[in-house]
Amino acid sequence: MRILSLFDCPLYDVKRLLPIIKEQGFNAVQISPLQHTKDDSSKEWWMLYQPLNFELGNKLGSKEELRDLCREADRYGIIIIADTVVNHLANLSDKEPLTPHPYGDRELLEDPDCWKIKAPITNWKDRYQVTNYCMGLPGLNPNNEKVQRKVINMLNEYADLGVNGFRFDAAKSIALPEEGCNFFPNVTYSLNRWIPIIYGEVLFADQELLDKYATYMKVLTTSDSYNKESVIKFIENKDSFLSKDLGWTKTWPKERITEEYRDLASHYPNTMYYARNYTDDWYEWQSPKVKEANKQYVK
């Protein structure tokens, strides 16, 4: 599977681009989260990852626009993958980053058990911290029944609108069953219909951890894996290009990204190409070299 990540792209633009996406050899498009954010007028790219709740419809498009997009994508044989934020909700402010926003989901705000320990992760090699502390925003307790029910309802609504794939943001911070959390089996097995592609973001992980997450879904990662069918590999994403702290590819020329993507696509059957936001480099995904890379056959 060749996935195009059109981050922060309005749904009507994604729909308009479907013929080019198909011609370029992509068979899936990852769209940005459509959950309500704490400031829908903000131009900050990270605001899409500060949702107030699990309701759908924001500045990128409405539920009806999503339905129209999915119908049109079906005509081209393209899967629409929804990026979902299920590990945390929006904070109050930069001064109180771990305090939930007061306009957030009322049912969750009123139940302390719906939240992770109010402490920041300081050691990313400590699995207890990674799965029980907060990654800079108010973390949700994924083992809580209320949290799981709201996530399941959102995913089923996405599916009813025609979405055929999901990305779990920050999946590495959601514990696994062997760590005492039943989130992934409960959520993925509670969907109203079969979803062709589900993957979770698990960055900077060793083979053992990748294999554990791969029990429940495909794994979106930059890490190498001998189990090539279980992972979705990428060279660049929104964080590596836009983040002030994690932006390790922002100084790379677009030609380097494409060359490394071509090499990646020759070794892995599932890859993602990120369309660089807010720059002329955005058009690079339409280049002949990317098209050539997508049409490589991996044994």
The residues assigned a catalytic role are 169, 201
Structure token digits, residue 241: 């290009």
User: Greatest CA span in the chain, whole angstroms?
Assistant: 53
Query: Across-strand partners of 89?
Result: none
Structure tokens at 84: 């979902």
Instruction: For residue 31, report the phi and psi dihedrals to the nearest 5 degrees.
Output: -100, 160
Structure tokens at 6: 């059109």
Cα dihedral 250, 252, 253, 255 sign = negative
Q: Is 260 helix (H, G, I), strand (E, B) or coil?
A: helix
Tell me how far apart the alpha carbons of residues 8 and 33 are, in angstroms, rounded to a whole number: 9
> CB of 271 within 8 A of CB of 297?
no
Is residue 182 classed exposed, middle or buried when 0-12, 13-18 and 19+ CB atoms within 10 A define those classes?
Answer: middle
**Given the structure tokens 């992934």, which residue do they identify?**
184
Q: What angle do CA 79, 81, 84 make, to 5 degrees?
A: 170
Task: Give DSSP secondary structure letters for 161-173.
Answer: TT--EEEETTGGG
Nearest alpha carbon to residue 59 among 69, 68, 47, 70: 47
Nearest to 262 by CA among 283, 238, 291, 286: 291
Strand positions, DSSP E, 208-269: 218-221, 231-234
Q: Are 163 and 125 in contact (CB under 8 A)?
A: no
